[in-house]
């Protein structure tokens, strides 16, 4: 079976246990996180081969993250270590609705020091998927590592997936972040954005017209998540929308979008890219179900659903 490779940041989420602003929080829970790693764990729990491409510090937090990946059956052969920077940390506050705000400790962190030479050994092959986000497209060695990984994956016949996952507080300006995201969007076959991100990236309020503006370069498939409003999928020829069935209280929205795209990519790894309206609707229903499970729990990686939870079955 083909492999999902996820490149980018991996970090520790310290999640405040009391709702409210960070400065008033007194108790935190430590969880492994980072959007690319969350996606890889989601795929692995659903029975798909997955590996993370990142760099961790030679510190206790780096050890914890590497051990977490190994315990989740995620490949760590491309998890590099460095003594030049520490593992990234994120402190997460939640409001009464489970919505999050972040304070990051990096600049640099170990993931930002991933070198292009370190990704040249990765044996991408036809049918694999390379997934990335925007956090590590910053002005650091890791950006060129992304460029090389994308070039090598595409040359091998792999698909490329991009979730911008905009984090404005990690960039000097919103304009710089959006410029870089727009630069990388045409390199992806599959794009996943939230409805708010879609507006920020395109400046177009009409969703269909905004999505149409993304169909440049290699882009073939766009997913738009809308929280309680469900999710939509678009190709150049068709589109689909499915509602979200939020029957359980929302505890923590961390990792919801990652579980959504992780589930989508797992389905594509297993079944290939099927783009009929019926296929898109089925993918959306399954991915929405995964996100609903995740928001009912705390944390990102610990909250990812198993195959049995999502499909009522074990991996064949």
Burial classification of residue 28, based on how many CB atoms lie within 10 Å of its CB (0-12 exposed, 13-18 middle, 19 or more buried): middle
Specify the CATH number for the domain of residue 25: 3.40.1190.20
pLDDT per residue as tens digits for the range 84-104? 999 999 998 888 776 778 889
pLDDT tens for each residue of 103-140? 899 989 999 999 999 999 999 999 999 999 999 999 88
Report the domain count for the chain: 1
Does residue 102 fall inside a structural domain? yes
Q: Is 177 part of a structural domain of the chain?
A: yes
Indicate whether 316 belongs to any domain.
no
Structure tokens at 316: 């064949």
How would you label 107-128 residue by residue, b for 16+ Cβ within 10 Å and e otherwise? Answer: ebbbbbbbebebbeebebeebb
Within a domain: 313: no
220 — pLDDT class (breaks 50, 70, 90): very high
Q: Measured between alpha carbons, how far is 208 from 190 in angstroms, rounded to an integer?
A: 16
Q: How confident is the model at residue 217 (pLDDT cuts 50, 70, 90)?
A: very high
Per-residue pLDDT at 206: 98
What is the extent of the structural domain holding 242? Answer: 4-306
Residue 213 lies in a domain: yes
Residue 312: inside a domain: no
Residue 293 lies in a domain: yes
Tell me the pTM: 0.94
| pLDDT tens-digit series, residues 149-177 | 999 999 999 999 999 999 999 999 999 99
- Residue 314 falls within a domain, yes or no? no
């Amino acid at each position: 079976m083909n492999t999902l490779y996820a490149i980018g940041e991996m970090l520790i989420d310290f999640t405040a246990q009391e709702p409210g602003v960070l400065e008033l929080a007194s108790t935190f829970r430590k969880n492994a996180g980072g959007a690319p790693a969350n996606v890889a764990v989601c795929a692995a729990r659903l029975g798909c081969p997955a590996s993370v491409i990142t760099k961790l510090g030679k510190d206790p937090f780096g050890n914890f993250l590497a051990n977490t990946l190994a315990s989740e059956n995620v490949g760590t052969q491309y998890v590099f270590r460095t003594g030049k920077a520490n593992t990234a940390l994120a402190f997460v506050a939640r409001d009464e609705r489970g919505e999050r705000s972040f304070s990051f400790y990096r600049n640099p962190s170990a993931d930002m020091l991933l070198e292009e030479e370190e990704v040249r050994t990765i044996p991408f092959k036809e049918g694999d998927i390379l997934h990335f986000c925007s956090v590590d497209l910053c002005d650091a060695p890791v950006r060129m590592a992304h460029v090389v990984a994308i070039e090598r994956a595409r040359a091998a016949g792999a698909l490329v997936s991009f979730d911008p996952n905009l984090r404005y507080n990690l960039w000097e300006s919103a304009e710089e972040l959006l410029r870089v995201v727009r630069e990388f969007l045409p390199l992806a076959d599959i794009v996943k954005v939230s409805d708010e991100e879609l507006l920020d990236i395109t400046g177009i309020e009409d969703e269909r017209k905004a999505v149409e503006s993304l169909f440049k370069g290699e882009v073939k498939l766009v997913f738009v998540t809308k929280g309680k409003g469900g999710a939509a999928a678009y190709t150049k020829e068709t589109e689909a929308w499915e509602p979200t069935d939020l029957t359980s209280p929302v505890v923590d929205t961390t990792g919801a979008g990652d579980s959504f795209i992780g589930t989508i990519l797992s389905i594509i790894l297993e079944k290939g890219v099927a783009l009929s309206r019926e296929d898109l609707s089925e993918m959306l229903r399954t991915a929405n179900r995964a996100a609903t499970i995740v928001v009912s729990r705390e944390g990102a990686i610990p909250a990812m659903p198993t195959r049995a939870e999502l499909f009522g079955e074990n991996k064949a």
